[in-house]
Amino acid sequence: MKKLLFITWNITSGYGTEKSLADVLNLLDKYKYDISILPLFKTSNVHVYNSNIKILDALIDSTKEGYNEKDSLDYYYKLLVSPLLFNKLINEKYDCVIACNHSAPSYFASYLNCATKIIWIRGDMRELDYNWLDKNSNEYRQIKQEHEMQASVLKQFDSIVVISDVVEKSLSELFGITENVVKISNSVNREKIHILSNEKISIPDKMLFTSVGRLDFNKNQILLLKAAKELKLYRDDFMIYLLGDGDYKLILQKYIEDNELTENVKLIGYVENPYPYIKNSTATILTSLSEGFSLALVESVILNTPIISTDVGVARELVEKYKCGNIIHFDEKELFGILLWYLNNPYRYNRVFDINNDYDLVTEVKKTELIIDNTI
């Protein structure tokens, strides 16, 4: 039995990357692999991993009694700059260490004394592009330093896994890396999604648009609200649901109230089962500034709901291959126009998208086992 250590940001149940990682790890052969997970952060006692998977103590655990944020962060950054200290903390030996993203998970994984290492890049690396910044700015110096550190760390890995064409392209353009790179897309359990999508929910009497994801700066839901403000000048027969929670909730709520959108936009909060909302929507909307993948878009296409998305993650792959929606710029006028088109043409869009076995969970699990076995 091979001992595997996965290092990830956190294991809190939610949408997107965390959910996709759990789906894959839960299906890895438990008689073939002894799996441990090291979360860098723990913000909740809830997770969805099987009992055979060992969850190690997080480096920062905000659920712990007596938690002190300053002391915890000091300890975290001390470990981040001390490979020797981190190796003493992780005293077990593993056959393979898998970093479940670039940045900190990859730094810590590179420190460990282990024969084989894999980096599984699950986020957009374009955040490390410093070339467009003012060379005299602090931001330029900071991002350039992070880029150089990441470039050095990437050399420590035997195999590199990317989750989308966007990530593969950024890896090539920013770091010149094209060898030993394997694409394993985030995947979905189709049967489970279709079953969950049949759950009964209350549907508004207006045409519904849904956006799924954390309410934060990067998800950029304010763009959707600005488009909704414009749309309200022409039509009132629409409803937008934002599923998710986050530190931008109050900012978004204030915009909704200040612009008299309370009858057309609702902050629903985190929903354990978003699929009935997606299934019953006219379209799923993503306005992110950056994404490594965006699982919600794939899930939407599987449920035959069109997508409207900025050019991030897997969006362009889906739209070009399956003709399932629209790619937009960061322009509320453009988004407004597309929303208005859907309201004016509710029955004209092809609502059946056959994606065959693409993004199939079982297929992606087999690919994951293959890359681990080949690397070891």
The candidate with the shortest Cα–Cα distance to 299, out of 13, 1, 19, is 19
* 70 and 123 belong to one structural domain: yes
Average pLDDT, integer, range 181-203: 91
Q: What is the pLDDT of residues 38-72, one digit of tens each?
A: 999 998 887 889 999 999 999 999 999 999 999 99
Global pTM value: 0.82
Q: pLDDT confidence of 123, banded at 50, 70, 90?
A: confident
What residues pair up with 7 in beta bridges, in sequence order?
A: 38, 99
The candidate with the shortest Cα–Cα distance to 230, out of 138, 87, 332, 92, is 332
What per-residue confidence (pLDDT) applies to 16? Answer: 64
Neighbouring CB atoms inside 10 A of 189's CB total 17
What per-residue confidence (pLDDT) applies to 13? Answer: 59
What per-residue confidence (pLDDT) applies to 242? Answer: 98
The domain tally of the chain equals 2
* 198 and 329 belong to one structural domain: yes
* 194 and 267 belong to one structural domain: yes
What residues pair up with 37 in beta bridges, in sequence order?
A: 6, 55
* 250 and 292 belong to one structural domain: yes
* 112 and 17 belong to one structural domain: yes
* 34 and 113 belong to one structural domain: yes
In a domain, 353, yes or no: no
Q: Structure tokens of 285?
A: 């909307």
What residues pair up with 183 in beta bridges, in sequence order?
A: 162
196 backbone dihedrals φ, ψ, rounded to 5°: -65, -30
- Tell me which residue range forms the domain holding 309: 190-344
What per-residue confidence (pLDDT) applies to 261? Answer: 98
* 179 and 267 belong to one structural domain: no
* 367 and 319 belong to one structural domain: no
- Answer whether residue 349 shows pLDDT above 80: no
* 182 and 71 belong to one structural domain: yes
Give CA–CA dist 132/302, Å, rounded. 37
Q: What's the one-letter identity of residue 356?
A: N
Q: pLDDT confidence of 35, banded at 50, 70, 90?
A: very high
Distances (CA, A) of 297 to 129, 202, 270, 314, 364: 25, 22, 17, 8, 17
Q: pLDDT confidence of 354, banded at 50, 70, 90?
A: confident
Name the helix (H) or strand (E) containing 55. Answer: strand 54-55
What per-residue confidence (pLDDT) applies to 320? Answer: 94
The candidate with the shortest Cα–Cα distance to 190, out of 274, 91, 302, is 302
Q: pLDDT confidence of 89, banded at 50, 70, 90?
A: very high
- Answer whether residue 348 shows pLDDT above 70: no
Could you tell me the CATH number of the domain that includes residue 38?
A: 3.40.50.2000
* 173 and 244 belong to one structural domain: no
